[in-house]
Amino acid sequence: MASSSNIPELKYDVFLSFRGEDTRNNFTSHLEAAFRRASIKTFIDDKLGRGEEISPSLLEAIEQSKISVIILSENYASSRWCLEELAKILDCKKRFGQMVIPIFYHVDPSHVRNQTGAFGDAFADLQKRFEESLDVLQRWKTALKEVANLSGWTADSKKCESEIIEETIMDILKRLNKISPSDHSDLIGVESVIKEIESLLKIGSNDVCIVGIWGLGGIGKTSISRAIFNKYLSYFEGSFFVENVREESDNHRRLTVLH
């Protein structure tokens, strides 16, 4: 593991790697839109034209991401660009501990691992162009084998894509929370209270939940509520923190209007 001084500045929550011709206008676009709604800062290279060499700025973006999500589609391995991204991502996993989540989009993980099936056919076409660069080919094969052995998501005809995207978002939000947990340093001795309230909220459930926090004035009810709100606000499409309701209603004789 690299020392903290060697870890690059993290600018993005997620780096999204995908084969544009396969998924840009369908699965990838829906996933990226879901990232935006969840306030997950995402780097996505959506340029239609690419050169033969991967750009230094793209390599830098991979290093500056907390998590890389790789959409492994049928023709992913036909692109030298995609395979160079993949190799760089796995290098960051090894050097910096970057989290890597593969999504097997209508491909079998075993086909990725062994370069077989339609996925293997796409890679075979690329091999012909680099048959004299054995070290490069071996690096790509090793990267494909490694990513296929990682825990991820499988998108196929057996499950609705919207469900897979929702589950992926929830998984990433949980991972991000572990990477950058909420700071309660200014709330001395309330960690156990916060955990108890979190257990009552049943985050991830489809039920509507209301939790009341009751106590004397000045004991930290608002601070605890805000800490929990800040931790989970990205789990929802919309959120708003209303405080001082009694005072505001008394002073202005009306309640805050939510739009």
What pLDDT is stored for residue 42 in this prediction?
A: 96
Q: Which CATH number is 59's domain given?
A: 3.40.50.10140
Phi-psi region of 153 (alpha: psi -120 to 50; beta: other; left: phi over 0): beta
Same-domain status, 77 and 188: no
85 counts as catalytic:
yes
Mean pLDDT of 173-192: 70
Q: How many domains does the chain divide into?
A: 2
Domain around 32: 4-174
Separation of CA 206 from chain center: 22
Q: Is residue 259 part of a domain?
A: no
Pairing of strands 65-72, 99-105: parallel
If DSSP codes are grouped into helix, strand and coil, which group holds residue 186? coil
Query: What pLDDT, in 10s, does the model give residues 80-137?
Result: 999 999 999 999 999 999 999 999 999 999 999 999 999 999 999 999 999 888 999 9
Catalytic residue among 84, 85, 163, 247: 85
Same-domain status, 132 and 29: yes
Query: What pLDDT, in 10s, does the model give residues 195-254?
Result: 888 888 877 677 778 888 887 777 778 878 877 777 776 666 667 777 777 776 676 666
Give the model's confidence band at 1: pLDDT under 50 very low, under 70 low, under 90 confident, else very high: very low
Same-domain status, 170 and 199: no
Same-domain status, 133 and 13: yes
Same-domain status, 152 and 206: no
Same-domain status, 100 and 33: yes
Q: Is residue 257 part of a domain?
A: no
Query: What pLDDT, in 10s, does the model give residues 141-177?
Result: 999 999 999 999 999 888 899 999 999 998 998 888 7
pTM of the model: 0.72
What pLDDT is stored for residue 197 in this prediction?
A: 84
In whole angstroms, give the CA distance from residue 90 to residue 144. Answer: 10
Computed over every residue of the chain, the mean pLDDT equals 84
Q: Residue 87's closest CA among 137, 140, 126?
A: 140
In whole angstroms, give the CA distance from residue 102 to residue 66. Answer: 14
Same-domain status, 187 and 170: no
If DSSP codes are grouped into helix, strand and coil, which group holds residue 100? strand
Same-domain status, 169 and 186: no
Q: How many helices (H) and strands (E) does the chain have?
A: 11, 5
Q: Is residue 233 part of a domain?
A: yes
